Amino acid sequence: MALSAASANQCDGLCNDPVDCACDGEKLRAVRTYLHERFPNRAVREFHSHSTVVVRGSMPAPCANYHVVSLSDELPYCAVLTGQFLAQPVGELCDHLRGWDLARAIQVERTVIVDANGLSPL
């Protein structure tokens, strides 16, 4: 299975439409804080990626919105946060970000999917 971004809608900071996503302000602040600690000189943008899931041998299927945190650069770094990841308690999110070393992963891969089970490159 692969995830491919089809389009994006800009959000100003936090999600404005909680019906369409799993955004929780406290959890997003925890992610932003982690990224600001590791990338202090980069601006953070957030948006929702309307994506599709592609399974080999099948037609692409639309998927739920994913909250994307992007760090500015000539080629931005992006962390694609799934609803399953954001459904975890805040303390677990912070532990996972540090334990999985999200900062290192996005420096290597540029775009990383952050799911409840770990990180994977896009």
**Entry pTM:** 0.70
In a domain, 113, yes or no: yes
Is residue 102, in this structure, part of any structural domain at all? yes
d(CA 62, CA 32): 27
- Looking at the 3D structure of the chain, how many domains does it have? 1
How does pLDDT run along the chain (122 residues), one tens digit per residue?
A: 343 333 333 333 333 333 344 478 888 889 989 999 998 888 887 777 665 555 555 555 445 567 778 888 777 888 988 888 988 999 999 999 999 999 999 999 998 999 999 999 87
Domain assignment present for residue 33? The answer is: yes
* Structural domain for 57, as ranges: 2-12+22-121
Strand 77-81 relative to strand 111-115: parallel, antiparallel, unpaired? parallel
Return the pLDDT at 69: 82
In the chain, what is the greatest distance between 2 CA atoms, to the nearest angstrom?
43
Q: Is residue 17 one of the residues assigned to a domain?
A: no
